[in-house]
């Protein structure tokens, strides 16, 4: 292949030299052949004598075309014959084409007749590749035909794609069943299609100047697949390179920034209501135990802390500087941070790209890079890191410690995180504002949270990924260890428009985002509230070991709705084995419903809940439980909550820890019961049958992608 590569390199250089941006069919054919992408067989017969050999190589049916630089309009010249079925027809066609060509243009220089394999039958599919502004080279697969064009049934993966990625793509389209053959149609050669997908993804990776590539259609047959038409668009402009420190450098900086031993507040203020005052108060009142250095040109002391005129005057080392000064002063202060070797600046000030002042933002990025200071923001609320009691923000302090790390690109969403966390007592390790993401972004945060022992789940509100490729690489690695949840704003055309005016960022094609995030094992939340609930619940939910889910419900009506929600969230109700069915039946009234859901009926005492839940935990074939509680006088909400927590706890002591989620329907007392259950490791929700399954479904999606599930 290396010699092939060299010759392709040479070919592309030559095309560049000619100032072209597209390939001729014969050139495109060279690329395909070099990467093992089957194209129709062909050959040129210069004489009638050569014809039989060439035709035998190509096979029938065939298309025959005049080859002459002097004849541009081949069909008009009578120089094309299609559907040639056998050697006799080929001879006849050869003579006819030659005769027509001479009649058309007597002095034409004729090189011969091209005989090309005519592709018929099979299923028409499309394999392509494009350069996404965020993710770079991406490979695409879809069915051909006008209907699919209308339904947009196409799937994407980052290039290069593995064989496994390619096989997953064949399953990812809505009409996947077609490939397996329906209504007596034959199944296509999946391996052959996968090989083409992989080859295309490698080709565009090896030659970044290939901006777009389309194999359309590819004829997929039961025994192979052939690209009938190849289109290649080139772009020799080198893509902008983003500054990417090494993982070690990122960690060195991030560990100091996020868990600092000393914080400077540049623009600290003694004046109530000022941002620089709020930041000081939050640091102090939040209980931060490290050094706090207020920086102010005139004041001597702020909130009992000694003031310095500049960070350079501070005696000890500083790990992070929180900026609360106007935008035009930021660059100057950054240089001082550089002189002091502070690894990071938290840039609260606005007045940069988000207000149209792109130059000022470019300048601070340049200064940051020169001085080796990483920038968080600008245009952010700051960040929280609860293991250090650190509230480096002008918002209110937040102190419910836990295992969820959250970030938001928008300040509003950040405030929603704080409010939701506080009211639901969501345990949080960190909340980080990323704002304009002039420098630090999601991949830096992921790299930090990956090794942060206090973080078990990471949830991110994202408007755009400035370097989706790098995000994907890091997220793929991190998501195998800890769930990564992403709320992608600007999903829809309207949403994307608002994103443009808000962040001046180009919002990506949502289908690409969707596929690539899934490819990286990221759990995508479709709503803000869902992202928050997942961040709250995923860390307390153990990882399931298999796909078998059983619903145990006191309300038959909830059972139906919970079953609906199972399907909606890609979960599988276990087909109940008869012995297990019999075992459940021992505990429930004779008119309780068979199978799954296990309907224990509404009038049952606490023991029925207890016995059936215990059986569900004990039986090794069951991997997760969904509980549907119905408020009755016989088993009041708190009685149910306590017995459930107790049984689950008992089994945890026996090292049996399965995911259990609950839906509680009843009067307002169920709210308190839900809180109690949550505090005991059981995500539970009142007045909804959907939310518990959204949570369980997300845990499963993560576990499947991380390869933690057997089947």
Q: What angle do CA 707, 708, 709 make, to 5 degrees?
A: 95
Please report whether residue 361 would count as binding its own copies according to CB under 8 A. Answer: no
Residues 158-197 within binding reach of its own copies (CB under 8 A): 174-175, 177-178, 182-183, 185
- Shortest distance in whole angstroms from residue 178 CB to its own copies: 6
Among 23, 268, 390, 418, binds its own copies (CB under 8 A): 418
Sign of the Cα torsion 475, 480, 484, 488 reads positive
Question: What is the DSSP code (8-state) at residue 90?
Answer: H
Cα separation, 663 vs 237, whole angstroms: 56
Looking at beta carbons only, is 108 or 528 nearer to its own copies?
528
Please report whether residue 691 would count as binding its own copies according to CB under 8 A. Answer: yes
Question: Which region among 340-348, 365-373, 418-426, 607-615 touches its own copies (by CB under 8 A)?
Answer: 418-426
Counting residues that bind its own copies (by CB under 8 A) gives 98
Please report whether residue 391 would count as binding its own copies according to CB under 8 A. Answer: no
- Shortest distance in whole angstroms from residue 489 CB to its own copies: 4
Residues 482-511 within binding reach of its own copies (CB under 8 A): 489-495, 497-499, 501-503
Please report whether residue 467 would count as binding its own copies according to CB under 8 A. Answer: no
- Shortest distance in whole angstroms from residue 634 CB to its own copies: 9
CA 565 to chain centroid, in Å, comes to 23
Among 411, 542, 546, 606, binds its own copies (CB under 8 A): 411
DSSP calls for 434-497: -TT-SS--HHHHHHHHHT-TT-SEEEEEES--TTHHHHHHHHHHHTTTS-EEEEES--SHHHHH
- Shortest distance in whole angstroms from residue 179 CB to its own copies: 10
- Shortest distance in whole angstroms from residue 408 CB to its own copies: 7
Looking at beta carbons only, is 447 or 563 nearer to its own copies?
563
- Shortest distance in whole angstroms from residue 67 CB to its own copies: 30
417 in Cβ contact with 408 (< 8 Å):
yes
Residues 517-536 within binding reach of its own copies (CB under 8 A): 527-529, 532
Element (H, E) at 345: strand 344-347
The structure tokens listed for 412 are 């509003």
DSSP calls for 296-311: -SS-SEETTEE-BSSG
Please report whether residue 561 would count as binding its own copies according to CB under 8 A. Answer: yes
- Shortest distance in whole angstroms from residue 430 CB to its own copies: 17
596 in Cβ contact with 550 (< 8 Å):
yes
* Beta-ladder partners of 292: 263
Please choose, from the candidates 224, 234, 229, the residue with its C-alpha nearest in 3D space to the C-alpha of residue 144.
Answer: 229
Sheet with 80-84, edge to edge strand ranges: 42-45, 112-117, 62-67, 80-84
Please report whether residue 396 would count as binding its own copies according to CB under 8 A. Answer: yes
Please choose, from the candidates 568, 539, 537, the residue with its C-alpha nearest in 3D space to the C-alpha of residue 689.
Answer: 568
Please report whether residue 608 would count as binding its own copies according to CB under 8 A. Answer: no
- Ramachandran class of 570: left when φ > 0, alpha when ψ lies in -120 to 50, beta otherwise: left
Question: Which region among 291-299, 439-447, 553-561, 645-653 touches its own copies (by CB under 8 A)?
Answer: 553-561
HSE toward the beta carbon, residue 520, CA cutoff 13 A: 31
Residues 643-682 within binding reach of its own copies (CB under 8 A): 665-671
Cα separation, 115 vs 78, whole angstroms: 15
Looking at beta carbons only, is 55 or 535 nearer to its own copies?
535
Looking at beta carbons only, is 117 or 421 nearer to its own copies?
421
283 in Cβ contact with 263 (< 8 Å):
yes
Residues 293-352 within binding reach of its own copies (CB under 8 A): 350
Instruction: Return contacts of 603-608, CB within 8 angstroms, 24+ apart.
Output: 603/632, 603/634, 604/554, 604/634, 604/635, 605/634, 605/635, 606/634, 606/635, 606/639, 606/640, 606/643, 608/635
Among 633, 654, 710, 711, binds its own copies (CB under 8 A): 633
Looking at beta carbons only, is 113 or 173 nearer to its own copies?
173
Among 301, 564, 581, 649, binds its own copies (CB under 8 A): 564
CB neighbours of residue 667 within 10 Å: 10
Please report whether residue 542 would count as binding its own copies according to CB under 8 A. Answer: no
- Shortest distance in whole angstroms from residue 606 CB to its own copies: 16
Please report whether residue 284 would count as binding its own copies according to CB under 8 A. Answer: no
Please report whether residue 436 would count as binding its own copies according to CB under 8 A. Answer: no
Q: What angle do CA 437, 504, 408 make, to 5 degrees?
A: 40
Residues 42-81 within binding reach of its own copies (CB under 8 A): none
- Shortest distance in whole angstroms from residue 653 CB to its own copies: 31
Among 628, 659, 681, 683, binds its own copies (CB under 8 A): 628
Please report whether residue 145 would count as binding its own copies according to CB under 8 A. Answer: yes
Question: Which region among 20-28, 325-333, 588-596, 653-661 touches its own copies (by CB under 8 A)?
Answer: 588-596
Please report whether residue 636 would count as binding its own copies according to CB under 8 A. Answer: no
Cα separation, 665 vs 643, whole angstroms: 17
Please report whether residue 558 would count as binding its own copies according to CB under 8 A. Answer: yes
- Shortest distance in whole angstroms from residue 659 CB to its own copies: 18
């Amino acid at each position: 292949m290396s010699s092939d590569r060299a010759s392709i390199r040479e070919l592309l250089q030559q095309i560049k030299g000619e100032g072209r941006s597209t390939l001729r069919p014969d050139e495109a054919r060279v690329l395909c052949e070099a990467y093992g992408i089957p194209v129709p067989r062909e050959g040129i017969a210069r004489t009638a004598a050569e014809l039989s050999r060439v035709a035998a190589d190509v096979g029938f049916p065939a298309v025959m075309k005049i080859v002459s630089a002097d004849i541009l309009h081949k069909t008009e010249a009578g120089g094309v014959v299609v559907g040639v079925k056998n050697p006799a027809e080929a001879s006849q066609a050869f003579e006819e084409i030659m005769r027509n060509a001479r009649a058309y243009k007597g002095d034409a220089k004729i090189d011969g007749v091209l005989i090309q394999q005519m592709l018929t039958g099979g299923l028409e599919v499309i394999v392509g590749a494009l350069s996404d502004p965020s993710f770079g080279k991406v490979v695409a697969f879809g069915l051909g035909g006008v209907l699919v064009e209308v339904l947009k049934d196409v799937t994407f993966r980052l290039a290069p794609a593995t064989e496994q990625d390619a096989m997953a793509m064949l399953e990812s389209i809505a009409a996947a069943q077609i490939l397996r053959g329906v209504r007596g149609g034959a199944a296509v050669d999946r391996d052959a299609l996968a090989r083409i997908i992989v080859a295309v993804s490698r080709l565009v990776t090896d030659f970044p100047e290939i901006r777009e590539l389309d194999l359309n259609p590819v004829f997929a047959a039961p025994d192979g697949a052939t690209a009938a038409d190849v289109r290649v668009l080139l772009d020799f402009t080198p893509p902008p390179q983003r500054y990417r420190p090494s993982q070690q450098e990122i960690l060195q900086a991030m560990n100091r920034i996020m868990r600092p031993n000393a914080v400077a507040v540049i623009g600290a203020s003694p004046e109530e209501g000022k941002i620089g005052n709020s930041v000081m108060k939050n640091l102090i009142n939040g209980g931060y135990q490290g050094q706090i250095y207020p920086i102010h040109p005139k004041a001597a002391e702020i909130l009992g802390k000694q003031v310095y005129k500049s960070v350079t005057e501070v005696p000890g080392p500083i790990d992070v500087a929180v900026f609360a000064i106007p935008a035009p002063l930021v660059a100057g202060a950054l240089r001082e941070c550089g002189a002091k070797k502070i690894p990071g600046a938290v840039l609260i000030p606005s007045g940069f790209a988000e207000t149209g002042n792109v130059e000022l933002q470019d300048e601070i990025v340049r200064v940051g890079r020169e001085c080796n200071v990483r920038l968080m923001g600008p245009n952010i609320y700051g960040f929280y890191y609860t293991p250090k009691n650190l509230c480096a923000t002008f918002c209110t302090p937040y102190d419910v410690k836990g295992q969820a790390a959250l970030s938001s690109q928008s300040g509003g969403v950040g405030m929603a995180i704080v409010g939701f966390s506080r009211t639901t007592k969501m345990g949080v390790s960190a909340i980080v504002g990323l704002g304009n993401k002039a420098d630090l972004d999601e991949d830096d945060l992921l790299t930090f949270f990956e090794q942060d022992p206090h973080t078990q789940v990471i949830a991110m509100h994202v408007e755009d990924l400035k370097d989706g490729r790098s995000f994907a690489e890091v997220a793929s690695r991190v998501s195998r260890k800890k769930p990564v949840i992403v709320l992608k704003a600007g999903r829809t055309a309207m949403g994307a428009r608002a994103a443009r005016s808000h962040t001046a960022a180009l919002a990506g094609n949502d289908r690409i985002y969707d596929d690539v995030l899934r490819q990286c094992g990221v759990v995508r939340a479709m709503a803000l509230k869902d992202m928050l609930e997942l961040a709250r619940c995923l860390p307390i939910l153990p990882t399931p070991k298999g796909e078998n889910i059983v619903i145990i419900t006191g309300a038959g009506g909830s059972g139906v709705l919970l079953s609906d929600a199972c399907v909606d969230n890609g979960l599988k109700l276990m087909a109940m084995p008869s012995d297990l069915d019999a075992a459940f039946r021992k505990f429930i009234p004779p008119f309780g419903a068979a199978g799954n859901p296990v309907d224990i009926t509404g009038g049952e005492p606490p023991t029925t809940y207890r016995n059936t839940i215990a059986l569900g935990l004990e039986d090794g074939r069951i991997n997760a439980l969904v509980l549907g509680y119905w408020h009755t006088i016989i088993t009041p909400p708190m009685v149910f909550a306590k017995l459930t927590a107790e049984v689950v706890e008992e089994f945890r002591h026996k090292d049996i820890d399965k995911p259990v989620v609950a839906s509680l329907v009843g009067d307002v007392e169920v709210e308190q019961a839900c809180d109690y259950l949550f505090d005991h490791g059981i995500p539970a929700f009142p007045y909804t049958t959907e939310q518990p399954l959204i949570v369980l479904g997300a845990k499963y999606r993560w576990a499947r992608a991380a390869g933690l599930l057997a089947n």
